[in-house]
Structure 1
Amino acid sequence: MKDLKRYYTLNAYPKDVYNALTNEKMLEIWTGEAAVMPLQPNTEFSLWDGSITGINVEFEPDKKIVQKWFFGEEEDSLVTIKLHPHKKGTSMEIKQTNIPDEAFDNISEGWDEDYFGALNELFI
C-alpha cells in the first residue's frame, strides 16, 4: 500500500472550488459523467459514473473534504482534500493513503490528468 500527496493551484476562490467538488451538477459539468454527492457524512458517493465510489466522511465548507474510496476487496483508501486561499486563487492539497500498489500509477495519473486537469479547465 502506498500514500500520495499533491498540491495544485486553481484560478478560483476556495468557495467556488469547494462547490465544484461537492455540487452534483457542477461535478457532472467538469467530469462529463454522472455523479452522486450527498453533502452529509456517512453517505455513499459516486464519481465518473461509478468509476470512483466510496463514503463521505467529513465536510468543512470551503475548506476540507474527507472521503473513503473503495478498491474492491482491498482496504478503503482515505482521501483528504484541503482548500487554502492563495494569491492566484486556491491551493488544493490532496492526500490519499492506503492505495493498492497495483493501482498507484493509475491513481497518480488520475489526480493529475482527470481530476485536476478537468477541474482546472473549469476555471480557465
Structure 2
Amino acid sequence: MKDYKKYYLLPATPDEVYTALTNPVTLELWTGDPAEMSTEPGSEFSLWEGSIVGKNIEFVPGKKIVQQWYFDGQTDESIVTIKIHPDSHGSSVELRHVNIPDDDYNDIVEGWNDSYFGNLADFFEVG
C-alpha cells in the first residue's frame, strides 16, 4: 500500500472548487461522463462511468471532502481527503490519498494529475 499527497492550484474560489467536486451536474461538465454524487455522508458515488466508485464520508462546504475509494479485494480502506484553501490566485487544493494498492499506484497518480485535477484546471481556465 502506498500514500500520495500533492497540492494543486486552481483559478477558482474554494466554493467553486467544492461545487465542481460535489455537484453531479458540474462533475459531468468537466469529466465529460455521467456522475453519481451526493453530499450526504454514507452515500455512494460513481465517476467516469464507474471507473471510480466509493463512499462519501465527510463534507465541509467550501473546505473539505473525505471519501473512501473502493478497490477490488482490498481490505484496508483507501481514503481520499481533499482540503480546499483560499489562495491569491483562487484556491490551493491539498490532496491526500492513503492505502492505494501498489499495483494501482501509478495509474491513480496519473489520474489525479491528468484526468482529475488536470481536467478541473482546464474547466476553470476555459469557463
TM-score, length of structure 2 as denominator length: 0.96
Structure 1 runs (4+) deviating above 2 angstroms are: none
Matched residue, 2:18? 18
Q: Secondary structure at the match of 2:71?
A: coil
Does residue 95 (structure 1) correspond to residue 118 (structure 2)? The answer is: no
**Offset of residue 49 of structure 1:** 1.2
Does residue 52 (structure 1) correspond to residue 52 (structure 2)? The answer is: yes
Matched residue, 1:73? 73
CA distance in 2, matches of 1:103, 1:67: 17
Q: How many residues align?
A: 124
**Offset of residue 39 of structure 1:** 1.2
Q: Percent identity?
A: 53
CA distance in 1, matches of 2:109, 2:86: 24
**Root-mean-square deviation over aligned CA pairs:** 0.6
CA distance in 2, matches of 1:34, 1:77: 23
CA distance in 2, matches of 1:49, 1:24: 13
Residue-by-residue CA offset, 1:43-73 (whole Å, 9 max, x unaligned): 1000111100000000000000000000011
Kindly provide the amino acid, as one letter, of the partner of residue 101 in structure 1: D
Residue-by-residue CA offset, 1:74-96 (whole Å, 9 max, x unaligned): 13310000000001100000000
Kindly provide the amino acid, as one letter, of the partner of residue 19 in structure 1: T
